[in-house]
Amino acid sequence: MHAIVTDTAVLPTQATSQVRQIVYRTKGKRQEWFTRLASPSGIGEKIKPFVFLDDFDIRSTGKPLSGMHPHSGIATITVVQSGNMDYKDTTGKSGTLSAGSVEWMKAGGGVWHGGGAADGDHVRGYQLWIALPPKDENGPAQSQYLAPEQVQSHGPARVILGRYGNAVSAIAIRASINYLHVKLQDGERWRYQTPEGHTVGWVATNAGTLHTAGVALNEELAVFEESTATLDFVAEGDTEFVLGSAVKHPHDLVLGYYSVHTDGYALERGEAEIERIRAQLEANRSL
């Protein structure tokens, strides 16, 4: 059972030996339209299956952001916090995501997709990559798009992946992973009781100040020590953040430019499928 406590509380001022400590913090690296908080070649190796996280802030350019681009071996999860975001993918789906919506793109053996702010709009959100297990990393690509009302909540937490309390994500995944989108009001306390085996844990904030483990987090990623101890949070100001916890991915991260696989053979298969789809896209454009 997952316990949630939401109430006003005194802000914690220092960590104690009973508190699950933060072992890594970063404000990330700001680029043109996003802040990269985690990547597979960096902290992603320590928090796998979570291998990549961007906090994005983009305005309409009149064309898809970065155009169509490929992935294999991973799933990407996009949470739209504000604005409207257009999308298109090679599973045949396209449309617009509103604030509160979620995109799930299980690239599997290979897929291409693209997206960006809707015409004349300004969109903010998070994009997360998770490493897929061997049974899925070269499987069929699958996309799923959830409207805000399709995302269940328990207390202040929207359940993007996994389950928490009495809320369950509409996205089916093989691995044991929770990914939550949380909003707290000023002075509100929230307690996350970590599920069994979820030794990987982190939070990323982008509004307000979040107090946990004796530190104050503001627009940054914080990674907790590997443990299943409960996490306590207190908001200073209205606070918004995402939280990930999981059973640690037991496989290597073998990297391509847009791909993450468990071994070199799986990567070669994924990159070959990406190339096949690229050639098909180019042939269709020439018709």
Question: Residue 29's pLDDT band (boundaries 50, 70, 90)?
Answer: confident
Over 80: is that where the pLDDT of 18 sits?
no
From CA 259, how far away is CA 261, in angstroms rounded? 7
pLDDT at residue 15 in the model:
40
Residue 14 is given by DSSP the state S
- What does the pLDDT average to over 157-186? 96
What global pTM score does this model have?
Answer: 0.90
pLDDT of residue 120 exceeding 80: no
Separation between Cα atoms, residue 274 and residue 271, nearest integer Å = 5
What is the per-residue pLDDT for 56?
87
pLDDT at 63: 57
**Pairing outcome for strands 221-224 and 215-217:** unpaired
Residue 11 has a pLDDT of 37
Neighbour tally for 103: CB within 10 Å? 23
In this prediction, residue 57 carries a pLDDT of 86
User: For the chain, first and last CA: distance in Å?
Assistant: 57
Q: If pLDDT is split at 50, 70 and 90, which confidence band does 287 have?
A: very low
What pLDDT shows up at residue 146? 95
Using the predicted structure, report yes or no on whether residue 65 has a pLDDT greater than 60: no
**Beta carbons within 8 Å of 63's beta carbon, 6+ residues apart:** 116
Contact 193, 230 (CB under 8 A): yes
Q: What are the chain's domains?
A: 7-286 (2.60.120.10)
> Using one digit for the tens of pLDDT, what is the confidence trace for 221-270?
999 999 999 999 999 999 999 999 999 999 999 999 899 999 999 999 99
The pLDDT value recorded for residue 14 is: 39
Alpha helices in the chain (DSSP H): 134-137, 264-286
Compute the average pLDDT of residues 132-145.
Answer: 96
pLDDT the model gives residue 281: 86
Give DSSP secondary structure letters for 162-173. Answer: SEETTEE-SS--
Query: Does residue 113 register a pLDDT over 50?
Result: yes
Tell the burial category of 209 from Cβ atoms under 10 Å away from its Cβ (0-12, 13-18, 19+): middle
Distance CA 168, CA 178 (A): 10
* Residue 227 tokens, joined: 């443990």
**CB–CB of 71/114 below 8 Å?**
no
Give the up-direction half-sphere exposure of residue 255: CA atoms within 13 A in the CB hemisphere: 10
Number of residues assigned to the chain: 287
Mean pLDDT along residues 130-141: 96
Once rounded to an integer, what is the mean pLDDT over residues 139-165?
96
User: Does the pLDDT of residue 285 top 70, yes or no?
Assistant: yes
Q: Which pLDDT belongs to residue 34?
A: 81
Mean pLDDT of the chain: 89
Confidence at 107, pLDDT banded by 50, 70, 90? very high
Residue 4 binned pLDDT confidence (cut-offs 50, 70, 90): very low
Non-local CB neighbours of 198 within 8 Å, separated by 6+ positions: 176, 178, 228, 245, 246, 247
Q: What is the mean pLDDT of residues 4-12?
A: 34
> What mean pLDDT comes out for the span 165-171?
96
- Give backbone dihedrals phi and psi of 21, rounded to 5 degrees, phi first: -75, 155
